[in-house]
Amino acid sequence: MNCYHCETELIWGSDNTFEDAGIDGEGILTVLSCPKCEAYVEVFKEYDEEEYNKLFECSICGEDTSEIDYDYLVSTDHLECVLDVEQKKIDSDKKEKATEEVKEEVEKEE
Ligand SMILES: [Zn+2]
Ligand SMILES: [Zn+2]
């Protein structure tokens, strides 16, 4: 999203639930700011209950994360799931690297 005043790309600050922000209803309050003219932008987005519950779903395992403590979440994904995905990425990187090293050695031998 760009700044209303100067068209500069806004910097995302935070997402808070209406509950956390002390607002009635279900929704998300997103705070953004402009790095150029220092405009402060608050975006209020209301959701109906069904949509709202969908926001609090781990995008990796699909389970509901609305009741889980922030400490165990990365955005709305389980910290555990995110770490697991990252670990798998590291493992496959390692594997790739290992295969590359083997390839290099084979090339050297030739
Ligand atoms: Zn601006
Ligand atoms: Zn999960």
74: CA distance to ligand 1 center in Å? 29
Residue 12 Cα to ligand 1 midpoint, Å, equals: 13
pLDDT in tens, 59-80: 999 999 988 888 999 988 999 9
Which one, of 39, 11, 15, lies nearest residue 28 by Cα? 15
Ligand nearest to the CA of 74: 2
pLDDT (tens digit per residue) in 20-67 = 999 998 899 999 999 999 999 999 999 988 888 888 899 999 999 988
Is the pTM higher than 0.85? The answer reads no
Q: Rounded CA gap, 27 and 29, in Å?
A: 7
Question: Domain coordinates of the chain in residue numbers?
Answer: 1-55, 61-110
Task: Report the Cα 92 to chain-centroid distance in Å.
Answer: 22
Q: What is the mean pLDDT of residues 9-27?
A: 92
- 89: three-class secondary structure by DSSP: helix
Q: What is the pLDDT of residue 110?
A: 66
